[in-house]
Amino acid sequence: MSEVARGPRPGRNDLCWCGSGQKYKKCHLGSDEAGQTRPAPRPRRPALEPGRVTPARAVPLQIPRPDYALTGFPRGQGRDVKTPEEQARLRRACQAAARVLRIGGEAVRVGITTDDLDGICHDEIIRLGGYPSPLNYRGFPKSICTSVNEVICHGIPDSRPLADGDIVNLDITIWLDGMHGDCSATYLVGEVDEAGKRLVRVARECLERGISAVKPGRAIMEIGRAIEPHAAASGFGVVRSYCGHGIGDTFHTALQVPHHVDPRARRLMEPGMTFTIEPMITEGRWDDAIWDDGWTAVTTDGLRSAQFEHTVLVTQDGADILTLE
C-alpha cells in the first residue's frame, strides 16, 4: 500500500525539481500544470465502474494483530534502520508476502472477481499465521488492494469480474513476526493489447532501475532519478501523489521514496535501512483523482497505470530484495 507523497511544488523562480539547474517556470512548470508528460491519447475502453464490496473477511482470534487492527489508527512510525534480528523477522514477513502474491497472481484469469482474489490471498495469509496488513488500516475495508486498468493504487476488491484485456495490480502486505512485508505486481488478463503489455513491461523495468540505484551514502532522490527518465523515454508518466515508504514493525515510517526526481528527498541511504520501491507508471497524465470511496486513486484521463513493488534492505554495497519467495 503506497504512502501519500507530501510537499508543495517549487516556486516559479525556484530551481526546477528535475535537477536541470533552470528555474521551474522555464522548465517543468507548464507540463506540471497540465498534469502530464506528453499529450494524452483518448481512453481506449469504457471507464471502470465499481462493483459491490462485501464485508471484511474475518481473522481468527489466535492470529496476532497490529496495533490498528481494531481502531484503524496506527500508533507511531517506527525506525527506518533495522537491527539484524529485526531484519531477519522482516525477511520472513516479506517472503510470506511474496508467496501470497504468487498465489494470487496464479489465480488471475478472465471472469474471476477481485473480491475472489481478495479471498484467495486472505486465506493464504491466515494459513501462514499472518494478518493482512491493509485490513482496517485507516479504515481500508479489505485484505489486499486490487487496481484494475486506470486505477493507480488502493483499489478496493469488489464484485466486478476481470474482463479480457484488463490489467490488474495485486498489492499484498502481510504482518508476520511483528513485521510488515509489502510487494505488488501487475498481471495481464486474457489477451492484452501490445500497448498494455509495453506499459506493464516498462513498469517492471522502472522498479528494477530504482532498485539498482540503492546504495549506502546516496540520497533517496537517486531512486527517482533512475526511474523517471526511463519512463519518460518510453512516453510514460510517473505518478507523484504516491510514493514508496519506510517499512518494518510499522506499515509506513516517516521515510518517503519518490519515484520522480524530487530534490527534497535528500536523506542518505544507510546499511540496515528498509523501504519499498513501487513506481506507478501511466500511459498518459500522471495526476490522479480519488473515487467517492476515499481510497481508489485513478488517472484523470482514464488511461492505464501499472505498478510493481519490492521491499528492499540497504546493504553495505547495494540492495537486498526481501520480497522474493
Amino acid 73 reads F
Please give the Cα distance from 73 to 136 (Å, whole number): 8
* Higher per-residue pLDDT: 6 or 261: 261
Could you count the other beta carbons within 10 Å of the beta carbon of residue 39?
8
Q: Is residue 63 part of a domain?
A: no
Q: Please state, in angstroms and rounded to a whole number, the distance separating the CA atoms of residues 325 and 309.
A: 14
Query: Which amino acid belongs to residue 46?
Result: P
Domains: count for the chain:
1
The answer to the question of residue 27 being in a domain is no
pLDDT digits (tens, 9 = 90+) for 240-289: 999 999 999 999 999 999 999 999 999 999 999 999 999 999 999 999 99
Chain position carrying cell 526511463: 230
Percent helix, strand and coil across the chain, each rounded to 5? Answer: 25, 25, 50
**Per-residue model confidence (pLDDT) at position 43:** 53
pLDDT at 272: 98
pLDDT above 90: residue 24: no
* Sign of the Cα pseudo-torsion (312, 135, 124, 291, in order): negative
Residue 21 lies inside a defined structural domain of this protein? no
Residue 46: predicted pLDDT:
86
Q: What is the pLDDT of residue 227?
A: 98
Q: Which pLDDT does position 7 carry in this prediction?
A: 57
Q: How many CA atoms lie within 13 Å of 152's alpha carbon, on the beta-carbon side?
A: 31
From residue 262, alpha-carbon distances to 161, 210, 269, 288 in Å are: 38, 14, 15, 18
pLDDT of residue 284: 94
Lowest mean pLDDT across 10-24, 125-139, 217-231, 253-267: 10-24
pTM of the model: 0.90
Asked if residue 293 belongs to a domain, the reply is: yes
- Rounded to an integer, the average pLDDT of 98-118 is 98
Q: What is the mean pLDDT of residues 36-44?
A: 50
Q: Quick one: average pLDDT of 186-212?
A: 98
41 or 172: whose pLDDT is higher?
A: 172
Identify residue 323 by its one-letter amino acid code: T
pLDDT in tens, 125-180: 999 999 999 999 999 999 999 999 999 999 999 999 999 999 999 999 999 999 99
In a domain? residue 242: yes
pLDDT for res 76: 84
Residue 29 lies in a domain: no
For residue 281, give the H/E element and its range: strand 280-282
Q: Which pLDDT belongs to residue 10?
A: 64
Long-range pairs, 191-196, Cβ under 8 A, ≥24: 191/164, 191/165, 192/165, 192/166, 192/167, 193/44, 193/165, 195/44, 195/283, 196/165, 196/167, 196/304
37 pLDDT above the threshold of 50: no
Q: For residue 55, with 0-12 CB atoms within 10 Å meaning exposed, 13-18 middle and 19 or more buried, which class applies?
A: exposed
In a domain, 291, yes or no: yes
* Single-letter code of the amino acid located at 195: A
**CATH no. for residue 219?**
3.90.230.10
Which range marks the domain in which residue 246 is found? Answer: 76-321
What pLDDT does residue 19 have?
47
